[in-house]
Amino acid sequence: MKRIKVMLIDGSALVRQVLGEVLATDPQIDVISAVASPLLATARMKIQWPDVIVLDIDMPGMEGLPFLRQIMRERPTPIVVCSSRTDAGDRTASEALAAGAVAFIAKPTLGIKQFLGDHASELLSAVRTAAKVRIKPLIVVEKFSADAILPAAAGHGAMIQTTRHIVALGTSTGGTQALEKVLMSLPRVSPGIVIVQHMPEKFTAEFAARLNMLCQIEVREARHKDRVVQGVALIAPGGKHLLLRRVGTQYFVDVIDGPLVNRHRPSVDVLFRSVARSAGANALGVIMTGMGDDGALGLLEMRRAGARTLAQDEESCVVFGMPKEAIKLDAVDKIVPLGAIGREILQQL
């Protein structure tokens, strides 16, 4: 099997060392170089081009972001951003994802060695999956709203209260760890769950399979026309929108193509709007850690349709972007820490 050639670009010698040690544990991965700056990386890439780049964008001079954009223009290559969590870093990482980075792993400013050791599986999975992604030259696209996929409900969700309830979760940066904690806390008998986690194509199947191994409930990547049932969580496939549809007293999902909504596909706004239309007061909407504002308007529509709505609190978020925007819109009934979300979900039974 062909080994994955990885280049590490990070201003910290310690981080380069630890990242190299973590990646070296995977026999499929070959770290071909570890350099301190994009300038040094450019010189090395003239000799050997990597399959995947692991890039810190919070380096002195902010060289990482222009370098990422240059790579995407000239020779698109999968890039995994591994960067510190600071206010400036959050904004820059959001720009990096918009510029074409395939994944973002937040790292702390202190305790980096222990952090990377604890999150080794996440980093290895991100690199392996990134190697399978075929990056196309970045095209700037218009920022569509959920209207591009389906119209808003005409009224306030005239959906009759029934004994069938569902939960809709939306998250982005930091969501992989947050979802793991929430779903692992649920017993086998739990409400049916539909999830949008911002991830590129091919990442979500592996992510769902990993969660399925860890959780009591069944977790899998959603398929078109899957039924939403108790004890099962369906995760939107990367590169597709996920919508909820009601037929009689039962819920199903539609997995469809369509334009990027809020620059994402899948989009949390699209899922939440469909839940507002199809489930109304029979639903719980939860917006969790993530950059940007995707999901805020959709959660407001859910609340107006009679659904309970929650936002993850700032302290437990990796990035308090999406929850903050939803709170600003008055779309949230209750703000809760990450550890309490599982208990709130079980109230839907």
Q: Which residue has the tokens 């994009």?
A: 38
Active-site choice (51, 56, 90, 294): 294
Q: Starting from the edge strand earliest in sequence, which strands make up the sheet with 192-197, in order?
A: 218-221, 232-235, 192-197, 166-171, 283-287, 308-312, 334-336
Q: Which residues contact 228 (CB under 8 A, 6 or more apart)?
A: 166, 192, 193, 194, 234, 244, 250, 251, 252, 253
Q: Which residue has the tokens 């062909």?
A: 2
Q: Which residues of 203-213 are buried (b: 16+ CB within 10 A; e: fewer)?
A: bbbbbbebbbe
3 state DSSP class of 341: helix
CB 94 within 8 A of CB 155: no
Q: Which residues of 25-43 are buried (b: 16+ CB within 10 A; e: fewer)?
A: ebeebebbbbbbbbeebee
- Cross-strand bridge partners of residue 244: 253
Q: Which amino acid is at 222?
A: A
Q: How many C-beta atoms lie closer than 10 Å to residue 109's C-beta?
A: 10
CA distance 71 to 102: 13
254 is a catalytic site residue: no
313 is a catalytic site residue: no
How does DSSP classify residue 260?
-
Q: How many C-beta atoms lie closer than 10 Å to residue 160's C-beta?
A: 8
CA distance 103 to 95: 12
Q: Which residues contact 110 (CB under 8 A, 6 or more apart)?
A: none
Q: Which residue has the tokens 């990096």?
A: 96
Give the tokens for residue 76.
Answer: 């698109």
Active-site choice (83, 172, 274, 278): 172
CA distance 70 to 60: 18
224 is a catalytic site residue: no
Active site residues: 172, 198, 294
